[in-house]
Amino acid sequence: MAALRLGSLPPATLTAITVTKKCERFNGGVKVVGDGGGDNGFPPFLPKEVEKIKDPFARNLARRIKRLPVQIGCSESYIMSSCVQPLIQTDANPVVLLHCFDSSCLEWRCAYPLLEESGLEAWALDVLGWGFSDLGRLPSCNVASKRYHLHQLWKSYIKRPMVLVGPSLGAAVAIDFAVNYPEAVEKLVLINPSVYAEGTGNLAKLPKVVAYAGVSLLKTFPLRLYANLLAFNDIPLSKSVDWTNVGRLHCHMPWWKDATVNFMVSGGYNVVSQIKQVKQKTLIICGENDKIVSNQLAMRLLFELPNASMQRVPDSGHLTHVDKPRRVVKLISDFTRAK
């Protein structure tokens, strides 16, 4: 969901694991969950509501979501982490796709196939606390935990400097990660970046019962539909309804409410002081008709980042990578390959 104005190869220990149409295999006591399972080929861990989605791009990408074990803490502690893994590994550094606030890798349903067609090695990841990972034993979902989880996944599977792409609040996730782990990030792409909110503000001070009530409201179809109407320009109502179902699919995960409250009361992302510390070359992609994040904030970010350029996309709203995927993929591809 768009933020409202509220502010490789497996590691050596897993090399024997292969993912087939069977959903689970075991190696050394570590479970790997892959594609397939249902009559329509959806992974069995996805909510049953995935069957109601009509968008063919969303359905196709959902079939490719898998869970990889990411080590957290002690050597026997893993989080089965959801992502879309590339089919091939290339010589060039990979493109790693994050998503917006309270969303999932399905945001990249339209752009991901185009990135593959362009010859790029692309990963679409679910940020800890969102998406479709197995969080039955709920870990902390604060900023530090999200950063650590992403680094552990990168260290285990990606293992090369990456072009890290963050839309909306995902831009704050990307900046925070790039500043803390500069060796892991070659370049940044920030799409309609939401980076000037000072965390979750007063929401972090709410009593737990009020926080849970607010999060329950966040899940409701009417609110999500309204956010969807703000995020896109001139799409048919039927498509907006279907895309709303795509955008809230992860909310049906049994741990979603607890993880979202955990993030909210932790204070959220506040990266204002980190912006000038970014060393990586950065591309800002800005939808000219963004109704959620002001273009003026994108201009401010352009001047505050040490090494940045900006490209505007006409007739595009807040989720430019969804409504103008060919243009966004062309910009990412050109930027990734530029010396």
* 121-173 residue pLDDT tens: 999 999 999 999 999 888 899 999 999 999 999 999 999 999 999 999 999 99
Contact 3/292 with Cβ under 8 angstroms? yes
Per-residue confidence (pLDDT) for residue 1, from 0 to 100: 46
Cα(178)–Cα(182) distance, rounded to whole angstroms?
A: 5
Active-site residue 318, yes or no? Answer: yes
pLDDT value for 22? 32
Strand 78-84 with 122-125, pairing: antiparallel
Exactly one of 156, 318, 321, 323 is catalytic; name it. 318
273 is catalytic: no
Please return the burial class of 235, using the count of CB atoms within 10 Å of its CB with bins 0-12, 13-18 and 19+. middle
What pLDDT shows up at residue 77? 86
Predicted pLDDT at 234: 82
Catalytic-role residue among 168, 266, 316, 333: 168
Among 257, 310, 306, smallest CA distance to 287 is for 310
Query: In this predicted structure, what is the pLDDT of residue 36?
Result: 52
Which of 128, 103, 81, 133 lies closest to 262, judged by CA? 128
What confidence score (pLDDT) does residue 4 get? Answer: 35
The angle, 0 to 180 degrees and rounded to 10, between the axes of the packed helices 221-231 and 237-247 is 120
The predicted structure's pLDDT at residue 67: 98
| Residue in 35, 126, 290, 323 annotated catalytic | 290
The residues, ordered by sequence, that sit 6+ positions from 226 with a Cβ below 8 Å of its Cβ are none
- Helix intervals (H) in the chain: 56-63, 112-117, 143-153, 169-180, 208-219, 221-231, 237-247, 256-266, 295-304, 320-323, 325-337
Taking a C-beta distance cutoff of 8 angstroms, is the pair 327, 313 a contact?
A: yes
- Within a 10 A sphere around the Cβ of 283, how many other Cβ atoms? 21
Q: Which residues touch 315 (CB under 8 Å, ≥6 apart)? A: 233, 288, 289, 324
3-state secondary structure of 273: helix
Q: Which residue stretches of the chain have pLDDT < 70?
A: 1-39, 74-76
Note the pLDDT of residue 75.
Answer: 63
* Cβ pair 290, 317 in contact under 8 A: yes
Q: What is the model's pTM?
A: 0.88
Examine the residue annotation and report whether 252 is marked as an active-site residue of this protein: no
Q: How far apart are CA 319 and CA 108, in angstroms?
A: 10
